[in-house]
Amino acid sequence: MAKKKAVLNESKCDNSPFCPVVKVCPVKAATRAGGTGGFLGMFGGGGKVAIDAAKCTGCGVCVQYCPHGAVTMGKD
């Protein structure tokens, strides 16, 4: 049986440094990488949110936390 995984719609994601999805994921499948951090990081800083399907357990927690509705449960 195919297991569902979280899928990020990049056109809806604003790659916020405060992304709650990155914070709530219990297995750290959701990450925000490439940011400059510090002051610039506060304004995006070039960082990008991504969900690693290999790590995602499909728990579905993050779907409820994204303020932009950018995360949905897709197929494996």
Q: Which residues bind ligand SF4 (CB under 6 A)?
A: 6, 24-25, 27, 29-30, 51, 56-62
Nearer to ligand SF4, 31 or 36 (CB): 31
Cβ 49 to ligand SF4 shortest distance, Å? 10
Nearer to ligand SF4, 6 or 17 (CB): 6
- Residue 69: is it exposed, middle or buried by C-beta count within 10 angstroms (0-12/13-18/19+)? exposed
Cβ 39 to ligand SF4 shortest distance, Å? 28
Cβ 45 to ligand SF4 shortest distance, Å? 22
Question: How far is it, in rounded angstroms, from Cα 64 to Cα 38?
Answer: 28
Question: How far is it, in rounded angstroms, from Cα 50 to Cα 15?
Answer: 9
